[in-house]
Structure formats: structure tokens, C-alpha cells
Amino acid sequence: MHSHHSAKGLVSDLRPVEPVTLVRPHAARRAARYFVENFPGKSLYAVKANPSPDLLAILWDSGITHYDVASIAEVRLVARTLPEATLCFMHPVKAEEAVHEAYFKYGVRTFSLDTLDELDKIVRATGGAQDLNLCVRLRVSSDLAQLSLAAKFGAEADEVKELLMATRQAADALGICFHVGSQAMSPHAYVQALERVRAAIVEASVTVDIIDVGGGFPSTYPGMEPPPLADYFAAIDRTYEDLPISYSAELWCEPGRALCAEYSSLIVRVEKRRGDELYINDGAYGALFDAAHVGWRFPVELLREAEGEEQAFSFYGPTCDDLDHMAGPFYLPADVKAGDYIEIGMLGAYGCAMRTKFNGFGSDVGYTVSDEPMASLYLGDQRPAQGATVTALFPAG
């Protein structure tokens, strides 16, 4: 098992040809403990953000006992990895066979829906079960989020009354859920959505047992520095307490990015420089999907000593596709050149989950590290410590 004092030491000793993933278990533990200890309800990890079995185990050991699964494959994965975990099937559109398998084979009792057709499907697939937690998903605004999730799912205002009343009849526990969008930059996003929930409850005159505020809790990136998570929790708690709901109702949330973004980063090598364009050995079809397709700006650091001013660069990935381009801007020392190594931070959310092997590129080489992530919502203004130990997790060969 290899060990190094830092990412720079790893690069100096190994000179890796392929991209290298660095994982920080302590960062994931810290994020999980923060939610467990501070969110005024129950936190469900959104598995789609990063389905790594190692990460799932870390979150479980840190107090996350409920998992938001979006497919039967995720149901099977979490059930296999964490047999005692509670699984909640929160994708609003599911195959009837998937609902049947989840209910009868894996004991899933919580399902979301946004139409009467989906309600009928769940009832049929579970044989008219009387022990279901059914969460009706409302369509709410994503205006305060960096990535909208308002178009695909969620019952419209004129559909909600009938859907809530019908679901109340089929459910042992009735829930209402929503998603304010990914990387919500203001706590007011949740306040607006919860006011929408209030209106729906009043109109339908139903008893509600679960309020699920979904995901959207942010992490910090260049140009996207959100308020403290405590501000989000306080706004949610204050608005939730005023809702006309059951005295025994539960408050849930579904963090994904906020629990795992700080978990990992990526070391890439510069293969070519052309002006302010750097050709690197990972990209849009690897861990940098978001950087390419939605213009996400991840923090970057050159892994050697450098002098002089920084300048803005864009990246090209290793494939033959022009779409394998990450516009950035990514700010690095002006003297960066071919053969240099760059660490790209905050890739724990979605990066690893969306990798492909397109064009034959891609790498599963990874190491655990004990230093701090390049940015954090859990450390205030503290910067990463230098010279931390790096231990091989799954080295090549």
C-alpha cells in the first residue's frame, strides 16, 4: 500500500499517466454528522449523486440511515451494501416491475409520485398494500438554484387537490415532497416551496404525515459561494413549524451534493497547451461532465511551485469529440505547461457517477487522502492543510 505526504508528493513519486481520484472519507463523515446533528428532521442521502459503496458505508457509519434511491439498480446496490438501511424510492416515474421488486423483495415502503396513473401503478404493483408511505411531488420554482429541476417532475397546481385526496386514501402515511433545483443559492427557495405546500394542504384538506424538502443543498465552488447551511436549516424549520400538518408529522430532506461533493477530487495531467487551452487526460465523458455540459467551475490547483500571475484557461478532454470541452474559466499560473499535474476539486458529487469509457479513456485508479478538500461549507474560511498523508485505496495493478 503506497503512502505519500501530499498530492504533490504522489505526483512527484508516481508521475501517473492516467487520471487519479483522491477520496476524503473524513470530509464525507463531517458532512454527514453536520446534517444528522443540525437538520431539524431526517436526512436521506440521494444515492444518484455518488453511488460508491465505500461512501455509502461511510455515511451509514456517520448516522445516515435512510437513502433516496431512484432506480431498482440503486435499490439493489444499497440493499446489498447496507442491509439494514431504509430505502425510499423517490423517482416519480417507475416501472411497475421495479415497484413490485422493491416492495416485495427489498421491503421498500416509501414511494413518490406526481400523477394519478403513478398512484394506480404503485397500488397495483404492491397488491393494494396498506403500509405505504406515499409522497406526492409538487412542481415548485427552481429560480434560486443553479440547475433547474422544475420541468420534468411535479404535479401542477390544478392537479394537486385530486391527487392528494386520492393518495390519502391509498397511503398509510401521506407525504408531500418537492425539489427546488440543484445548488440552491438562497434559503428562500425552501420557504417559497413550503408556502406552496401550505396552499396545497389547505386546498385538499388532508392530513399530511411527511414533509420532504428534497435536495438542492449547496456546496461551494468558484463564483458560487452560498450562505451557511445553518441559514437553510433555520428557514426550513421556521416555515415547517407553521404548516397545517399532523402533530406527529416528520420533516425529511434528501441531500446529495452537500454530503459528497467534498469527498473526492481528481488529479489530471496536461498533455498539451495551445494558448489559453489546456488538453488534459480527463473530461466531459469522464469525471468532468458538469464542467463541460452545464459550465460548472470547479476549483483547480497546479501541483507544483509556480511564480507570477494566474490567468484564465479552458480545458479540452482526451477524446476525439469537440464536445469534450470545458470552458471554465479555470484560473492557474500563467506558466502551466505540458507534463504538469492539476488537482480539480469538489468532484465527489456526480463526477464519478457519470464517468464513461468513451474512446477508451478513463481510469479507476484512486487513493485516500487525509488533507482537507479544496473548498468546504463545513470549515468556514480554513484552507486545506499541506503535507497530509496519502494512502492507496485502489492503485493500478
Question: Do you know the residue count of the chain?
Answer: 397
Query: Can you list the pairs that 292-298 forms with residues at least 24 positions away whose Cβ atoms lie under 8 Å?
Result: 292/317, 292/323, 292/324, 292/325, 292/326, 294/147, 295/327, 296/221, 297/221, 297/222, 297/223, 297/224, 297/328, 297/329, 297/330, 298/221, 298/222, 298/330, 298/344, 298/345, 298/346, 298/347
Helix (H) or strand (E) holding 15: none
Of the candidates 340, 232, 237, the one whose C-alpha atom is nearest the C-alpha of residue 279 is 340
Q: Is 107 exposed, middle or buried (0-12, 13-18, 19+ CB in 10 A)?
A: exposed
71 within 8 A of 82, measured Cβ to Cβ:
no
168 C-beta neighbours (distance < 10 Å), count: 18
Contact 32, 378 (CB under 8 A): no
348 within 8 A of 50, measured Cβ to Cβ: yes
Q: How far apart are CA 318 and CA 358, in angstroms?
A: 10
C-alpha cell at 155: 404535479
Neighbour-count burial for 316-326, b at 16+ CB within 10 Å, e otherwise? bbbbeeeebbb
φ/ψ (deg, to 5) at 341: -115, 140
C-alpha cell at 150: 422544475
- Number of neighbouring beta carbons within 10 Å of residue 146: 19
Which residue in this structure is represented by grid cell 495493478? 397
Query: Does residue 88 have an active-site annotation?
Result: no
Distance CA 46, CA 54 (A): 15
- C-alpha distances in angstroms, 370 versus 12, 91, 202, 391? 18, 35, 50, 8
Instruction: In whole angstroms, give the CA distance from residue 148 to residue 179.
Output: 9
> Of the listed 88, 135, 320, 352, which one is catalytic?
320
Cell of 87: 430505502
Residues with catalytic function: 320
